[in-house]
């Protein structure tokens, strides 16, 4: 379990950002990942009081506050209607309802975890993150950025008419994915996919070419070998296209 000296319920994003510049401070998301560590922090910064726990849908986009839980994503009708239940499919295998009622979109994305279903899912959409310091950055760029002291405010997902399918492979139904693929067919017919749990930060790639996985790196761990993951990525992409056809 992690520990900290002080707790601050942030009154503004600016205050949160300011506090977070100190290396030993930390922003609290759903604390699902933080609690696995044994680190001792100075100040824990809570964004719970800033009204960032809402999904706001407009004609053009979804604005998803950083404190929105995975369960909210799972149940949001607009999101799931727009993207063919891809969001629901991406999160419904994650541990259990009680866990998904806690862990947040902000925490999941900011962590850019090598196993992340959430990052993989939104990466295949026209997504952006709003950061207090850097402003709005595309999720694709954010996924490649090194960790810094910025504060993630919200995720913005554009309704650009793309069709999306989320596929993952697990050894046991609530385990981390062995591999995750989110495929998207853009309105102009272009096909792309994000691949996560390789196990490494999800990346977006072009999948026009038969050998598309060759540009990606896959790794081995106790769940599967790199070779198996690469094979599965191809199969999951096929499944995604079948689902979208």
Nearer to another protein, 93 or 162 (CB): 93
Between CA 169 and CA 146 the distance in angstroms is 27
Nearer to another protein, 56 or 97 (CB): 97
Nearer to another protein, 99 or 212 (CB): 99
DSSP state of 78: H
CB of 35 to another protein, least distance (A): 6
CB of 48 to another protein, least distance (A): 7
CB of 118 to another protein, least distance (A): 16
Between CA 94 and CA 141 the distance in angstroms is 25
The verdict on whether omega for the bond into residue 199 sits within 30 degrees of 0, i.e. cis, is: yes
Nearer to another protein, 86 or 125 (CB): 86
CB of 33 to another protein, least distance (A): 9
Binding site for another protein (CB under 8 A): 1-4, 6-7, 28, 30-32, 35-36, 44, 46, 48, 71, 92, 95-99, 101-103, 169, 171-176, 222, 224-225, 227-228, 231-232, 235
DSSP letter for each residue of 22-40: STT-EEESSSTTGGGS--E
Between CA 193 and CA 188 the distance in angstroms is 15
CB of 203 to another protein, least distance (A): 22
- Centroid of chain to Cα 110: 8
Nearer to another protein, 71 or 112 (CB): 71
DSSP letter for each residue of 100-167: HTT-BHHHHHHHT-TT-HHHHHHHTSSEEEEETTTEEEEHHHHHHSPP-S--EEEEEEE----EEEEE
CB of 102 to another protein, least distance (A): 5
Residues 6+ apart with CB under 8 A from 93: 117, 168, 170, 173, 174, 177
Nearer to another protein, 127 or 168 (CB): 168
């Amino acid at each position: 379990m992690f520990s900290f000296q002080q707790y601050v319920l942030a009154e503004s994003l600016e205050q949160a950002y300011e506090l977070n510049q100190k290396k030993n401070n930390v922003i609290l998301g759903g604390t699902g990942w933080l609690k696995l560590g044994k680190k001792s922090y100075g100040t824990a910064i809570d964004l719970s009081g800033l009204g960032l726990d809402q999904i706001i849908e407009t004609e053009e986009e979804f604005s998803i506050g950083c404190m929105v839980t995975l369960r909210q994503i799972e149940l949001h009708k607009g999101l799931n209607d727009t993207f063919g239940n891809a969001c629901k499919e991406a999160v419904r295998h994650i541990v259990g309802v009680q866990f998904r009622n806690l862990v947040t979109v902000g925490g999941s994305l900011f962590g850019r975890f090598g196993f992340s279903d959430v990052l993989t899912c939104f990466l295949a959409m026209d997504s952006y993150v709003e950061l207090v310091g850097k402003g709005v950055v595309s999720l694709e760029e954010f996924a490649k950025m090194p960790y810094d002291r910025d504060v993630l405010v919200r995720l913005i997902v554009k309704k650009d008419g793309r069709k999306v399918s989320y596929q993952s492979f697990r050894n046991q139904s609530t385990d981390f994915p062995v591999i995750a693929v989110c495929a998207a067919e853009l309105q102009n017919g272009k096909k792309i996919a994000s691949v996560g749990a390789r196990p490494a930060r999800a990346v977006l790639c072009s999948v026009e070419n038969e050998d598309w996985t060759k540009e990606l790196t896959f790794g081995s761990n106790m769940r599967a070998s790199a070779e198996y993951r690469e094979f599965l990525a191809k199969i999951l992409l096929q499944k995604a296209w079948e689902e979208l056809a």
